[in-house]
């Protein structure tokens, strides 16, 4: 009983401390609406300055453009606009120099910048926010940041594609085993395998290019939700900030995070593709077909002989986390009523993490590829004559036999080799003719991996000329990014 009373007293004292703790929301928070204090835990729970400070440059760019726009409609005089812009440029210089000081009450990047502006130029700084809301401000900052990040990632994708194409060209003559269901299938070129992964990366780059125009629309001037009451020229704002156009509905403008969700979905697919490539390399590294450079491997704390492909395993693992980010944000968005809700603040951390992860993964993937060493001897050793069983069937097709029949005949040859416990390429002409009399002496030329590979000469095939076409296409595409 006494412990319950003590707990009750503690709760009362805590409530009293919260009540007298001061004005709510800081200098640029909720303002005069609230007379009580904010729970310190709530202040920490509510603030976003710890992560949205990454958008300091975009926030200041938006404010400079807005100062110009409000001067155009007479809210600010030319002198006031110039003074505000000069102050914002000083704030920009502080951030760029790393001297900007975040203070208590700086709830987010917007309040931090405006607080510092007011310190520099006085009460005039309070005019900047006329007709503007943090709702359209944060939407603007985030769109600017995302578009810049996406354009930067395109450059990283170009680096990966160019490096991979050059690597593939260098090793164009190396053959390897191709697999389906992880079972030996047909011989292919090592460079063809690498270009297969780059084909997926090129699609990823195309998709990212397609995201940018949708993200690059200006929401500034939408206000809190209903629009701007002072007739601010939104097309002027869009042009000043480098947007392609303006968002069409003010209510949608402040709550639309499709562009964030699209990027998170995009980054999860990119990392899935990198994960698949990493898995292939892990398997080939295990088979000693590819050697991963020491820079991207680690040893064991116990076993001296170990060389673990940790970089590739981490690439593989990042895809799962990426999927979680994407699903997590969409789960947040699905139940929101129209207009801005504080839940939308939860888009920043997964967005920033996703961009950082993508850039790191692309850098690692590029490094792994340009430093790895294919082992032609072991790659050839992984080839087996049974991979040429389809070529044996094709031999009879060229003599006019229907493929369904030749498939059955070739299968009988495979079975005979297995039952005789010999390799299929050691079957004699007599043995082959006992299965089908249409086999002739030139059938023995079928057992040539290079010939098999070169026969796959249709567009996209593994013949040397076709792989070179893929390499050149990859190089040309990379130059467009």
CA nearest to 464, candidates 269, 216, 188, 229? 188
Maximum pairwise Cα distance, the chain: 102
CA nearest to 132, candidates 20, 15, 234? 234
- To the query of whether residue 83 is one of the catalytic residues in this protein, the response is no
CA nearest to 369, candidates 203, 190, 205? 190
Q: 7, 8, 300, 423: which one is catalytic?
A: 300
Report the C-alpha gap between 228 and 133 in whole angstroms. 9
The CB density around residue 127, as the number of other CB atoms within 10 Å, is 16
Strands 245-246 and 290-291: unpaired
- To the query of whether residue 253 is one of the catalytic residues in this protein, the response is no
Contacts of 293 (CB under 8 A, 6+ apart): 367, 368, 371, 372, 373
Q: Are 427 and 385 in contact, with CB atoms under 8 Å apart? A: no
Strands 245-246 and 217-218: parallel
Query: What Cα–Cα distance (Å) separates residue 416 from each residue in 186, 396, 403, 435?
Result: 20, 18, 20, 9
Q: Are 109 and 55 in contact, with CB atoms under 8 Å apart? A: yes
**Per this entry, what is the length of the chain?**
481
Report the C-alpha gap between 349 and 346 in whole angstroms. 6
Q: What are the residue numbers of the active site?
A: 181, 300
């Amino acid at each position: 009983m006494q412990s319950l009373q003590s707990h009750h007293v503690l709760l009362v004292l805590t409530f009293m401390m919260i009540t007298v703790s001061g004005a709510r929301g800081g200098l640029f928070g909720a303002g005069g609406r609230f007379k009580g204090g904010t729970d310190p835990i709530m202040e920490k729970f509510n603030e976003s300055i710890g992560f949205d400070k990454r958008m300091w440059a975009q926030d200041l760019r938006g404010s400079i453009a807005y100062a110009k726009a409000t001067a155009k409609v007479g809210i600010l005089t030319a002198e006031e606009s110039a003074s505000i812009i000069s102050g914002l440029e000083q704030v920009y210089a502080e951030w760029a120099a790393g001297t900007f000081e975040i203070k208590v009450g700086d709830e987010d990047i917007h309040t931090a910048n405006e607080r510092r502006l007011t310190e520099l130029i006085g009460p005039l700084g309070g005019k900047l926010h006329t007709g503007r809301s943090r709702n359209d401000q944060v939407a603007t900052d985030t769109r600017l940041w995302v578009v810049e990040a996406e354009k930067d990632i395109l450059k990283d994708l170009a680096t990966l594609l160019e490096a991979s194409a050059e690597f593939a060209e260098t090793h164009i003559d190396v053959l390897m085993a191709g697999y389906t269901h992880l079972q030996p299938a047909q011989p292919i070129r090592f460079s063809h395998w690498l270009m297969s992964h780059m084909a997926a990366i090129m699609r990823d780059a195309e998709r990212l290019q397609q995201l940018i125009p949708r993200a690059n629309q200006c929401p500034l001037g939408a206000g809190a939700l209903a629009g701007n009451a002072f007739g601010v020229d939104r097309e002027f704002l869009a042009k000043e900030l480098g947007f392609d156009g303006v968002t069409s509905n003010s209510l949608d403008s402040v709550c639309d995070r499709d562009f964030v969700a699209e990027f998170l979905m995009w980054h999860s697919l990119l990392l899935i593709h990198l994960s698949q490539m990493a898995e292939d390399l892990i398997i080939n590294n295990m088979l000693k077909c590819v050697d991963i450079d020491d820079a991207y491997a680690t040893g064991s704390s116990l076993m001296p002989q170990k060389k673990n492909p940790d970089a590739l395993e981490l690439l593989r693992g990042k895809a799962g986390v990426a999927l979680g980010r994407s699903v997590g944000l969409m789960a947040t968005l699905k139940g929101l009523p129209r207009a801005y809700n504080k839940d939308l603040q939860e888009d920043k951390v997964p967005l920033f993490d996703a961009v950082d992860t993508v850039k790191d993964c692309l850098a690692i993937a590029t490094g792994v590829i340009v430093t790895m060493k294919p082992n032609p001897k072991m790659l050839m050793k992984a080839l087996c004559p049974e991979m040429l069983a389809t070529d044996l069937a094709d031999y009879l097709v060229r003599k006019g036999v229907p493929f369904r029949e030749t498939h059955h005949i070739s299968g009988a040859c495979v079975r005979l080799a297995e039952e005789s416990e010999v390799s299929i390429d050691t079957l004699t002409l007599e043995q082959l003719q006992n299965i089908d009399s249409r086999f002739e002496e030139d059938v023995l030329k079928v057992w040539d991996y290079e010939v098999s590979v070169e026969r796959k000469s249709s567009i996209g095939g593994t013949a040397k000329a076709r792989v070179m076409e893929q390499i050149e296409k990859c190089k040309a595409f990379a130059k467009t990014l």
